[in-house]
Amino acid sequence: MPRRHAEARPATIIDVAREAGVSFKTVSRVLNGETNVREQTKARVLSAVKTLDYRTNHNARNLRARQSRIICLLYANPSRNYVGEVHLGALQRCQAEGYSLITEDCSDDPGSVLALRSETQLAGAILTPPLSDDEPLMAQLRERRLPFVRIAPSEATEQGRDVAIDDVAAAREMTEYLIGLGHRRIGFIRGAASHAQAARRLEGYLAALKSHGIEADPELIAEGDFTFDSGISCAEQLLDLPEKPTAIFASNDDMAAGVIAACYRRQVHIPEDLSVAGFDDTPLAATISPSLTTIYQPSRELASEAVGLLLEEIAGPSEVPRRHLLDYRMVVRDSTAPPKA
């Protein structure tokens, strides 16, 4: 299973905060010689500075003194469950670090949002999929010299700082789990084509089939868009096939919930007649009936880590690309079982 990793690099103020067990804001107070810090805390920070051989970036410090403490989270994702988890993770980390968070829905026009925010001084921005691969948007951010970090961008784009999970490995593991239960006709509902994750999850599904000698059937791959309604329509398409699938793997929980709704209307029993699996493990997965077998994507942690990387970039800008991979895990619940004999 993938693990987070970091390349060798000079220590940053964020590293000092972690080493000392204090907040980014507290380290800043100590380094700036402010007096409202307890001696014991100050000693821990200075010890961490010495241990990590931290070198203060005076240019970055002067820049921060003029910056606001507002971070903007930009999103254009149809899944309210996913967006809610990301928002919460970013908000909690911002509050812990002494920053404020604002959110903007860029579904219609990311450029107009930036124009709207031009009067608000921002410390930086977090880009969520599919904005993580929006080149015009990133070009505007660079032109404004606004630091940004991307969540789950395309692996083909290696620039800046980003955080993700291994979507290919996760989707492969889920498909192999269904194969291990005895399923051979496994339907797959992919997400919106504009999301790099959709292609990677399809790649994992196809890789699992190939590794088990199962020929991929194009009729078993339906085109969704990460919404509940698309899950319903794709399920109808797959269940209308002359040779129906015995399992359906939807590449997010919203679409998987749509599959379950479509099955309920058709009186298809889950998991007796059809196994259903999802991806994300949003709160929806544990509350629907039957509860959903899914891949846990640490959406809150991804957002929190993105804020941390952004603060590192603000503290010490770097042109060296950095990617953090966080762990995923498979969560088995009531919606999957071996196929009928």
Q: Are residues 241 and 149 part of one domain?
A: no
Calculate mean pLDDT across residues 36-50.
83
Q: Across all residues in the chain, what is the average pLDDT? A: 87
One domain, residues 130 and 251: no
> Has residue 151 got a pLDDT over 50?
yes
Torsion angle in degrees (nearest 10) through CA of 21, 24, 30, 31: 120
How much is the average pLDDT of 232-254? 97
**Any idea what the CATH number is for the domain that residue 94 is in?**
3.40.50.2300
- Same domain for 182 and 276, yes or no, is yes
Of residues 5 and 161, more confidently modeled: 161
Interaxial angle between packed helices 39-52 and 13-20, expressed in degrees from 0 to 180 and rounded to the nearest 10: 120
Residue 73 lies in a domain: yes
Residue 332 domain flag: no
Number of domains making up the chain? 3
Q: How far is CA 161 from CA 148, 149, 153, in A?
A: 8, 5, 10
5: confidence class by pLDDT, cuts 50, 70, 90:
very low
Residues 200 and 224 reside in one and the same domain = yes
Tell me the mean pLDDT in the region 222-242. 97
pLDDT (average), residues 96-100: 90
pLDDT reading at 311 higher than 80: yes
Location of structure tokens 């051979």: 184
Residues 281 and 182 both lie in one domain: yes
Mean pLDDT of 34-56: 79
Range in 13-17, 223-227, 277-281 the model is least confident about: 13-17
User: Is residue 3 in a domain?
Assistant: no
Q: Which residue in this structure is represented by tokens 């899950």?
A: 231
- CA distances to 57, 100, 238, 265 from 220, rounded to whole Å, are 55, 45, 6, 21
Written as one letter, the residue type at 208 is A
As a whole-number percent, the residues of the chain with pLDDT over 70 amount to: 86
What does the pLDDT read at residue 71?
93
Closest alpha carbon to 171 in 341, 2, 340: 2
Return the bridge partners of 249, or none: 188, 277
Average pLDDT over residues 74-80: 87
Q: Are residues 215 and 290 in the same domain?
A: yes
Q: Write the burial class of residue 333 (CB in 10 Å: 0-12 exposed, 13-18 middle, 19+ buried).
A: middle
**CB-neighbour burial class of residue 270 (10 A; exposed 0-12, middle 13-18, buried 19+):** buried
**272 located within any domain:** yes
Q: Is residue 187 very low, low, confident or very high in pLDDT (cuts 50, 70, 90)?
A: very high
Query: Which two tokens mark 254?
Result: 């919203």
Q: Domain check: are 94 and 119 in the same one?
A: yes
pLDDT mean over 227-250: 97
In sequence order, the 6+-apart residues with CB closer than 8 A to the CB of 6 are 322, 324
**Which CATH number fits the domain that encloses residue 47?**
1.10.260.40
How much is the pLDDT for 336? 98
The pLDDT of 170-176, averaged and rounded, is 98
Task: Return the pLDDT at 331.
Answer: 97
3-state secondary structure the chain: CCCCCCCCCCCCHHHHHHHHCCCHHHHHHHHCCCCCCCHHHHHHHHHHHHHHCCCCCHHHHHHHHHCCCEEEEEECCCCHHHHHHHHHHHHHHHHHHCCEEEEEECCCCHHHHHHHHHHCCCCEEEECCCHHHCHHHHHHHHHCCCCEEEECCCCCCCCCEEEECCHHHHHHHHHHHHHHHCCCCEEEEECCCCCHHHHHHHHHHHHHHHHCCCCCCHHHEEECCCCHHHHHHHHHHHHCCCCCCCEEEECCHHHHHHHHHHHHHHCCCCCCCCEEECCECCHHHHHCCCCCEEEECCHHHHHHHHHHHHHHHHHCCCCCCEEEECCCEEECCCCCCCCCC
Question: Is the per-residue pLDDT at 207 higher than 80?
Answer: yes
17-26 pLDDT, tens digit per residue, is 888 888 766 7
Let me know whether 126 and 95 are in one domain: yes
In this structure, the answer to whether residues 154 and 189 fall within a common structural domain is no
Confidence category of residue 225, pLDDT binned at 50, 70, 90: very high
Is residue 36 in a domain?
Answer: yes
In a domain, 334, yes or no: no
Which backbone phi and psi does 308 adopt, to 5 degrees?
-60, -45
The pLDDT confidence band at residue 116, using thresholds 50, 70 and 90, is very low
Of 29-33, 116-120, 245-249, where does the model show the most confidence? 245-249
The whole-number pLDDT of residue 159 equals 65
Residues 46, 80: one domain?
Answer: no
Mean pLDDT over 293-307 rounds to 96
Domain-embedded: residue 8 = no
Nearest to 327 by CA among 19, 5, 18, 9: 5
108 pLDDT band (50/70/90 cuts)? confident
Same domain, 222 and 245: yes
Residues 286 and 181 both lie in one domain: yes
pLDDT digits (tens, 9 = 90+) for 211-220: 999 999 999 9
Query: Where is pLDDT greater, at 121 or 123?
Result: 123
What number of CA atoms fall less than 13 Å from residue 211's CA on the CB side? 14
**Cα torsion through 18, 24, 30, 35, rounded to 10:** -130
333: in domain: no
Domain of residue 248 covers: 167-297
Q: Which of 8-12, 186-190, 263-267, 329-333 has the lowest mean pLDDT?
A: 8-12
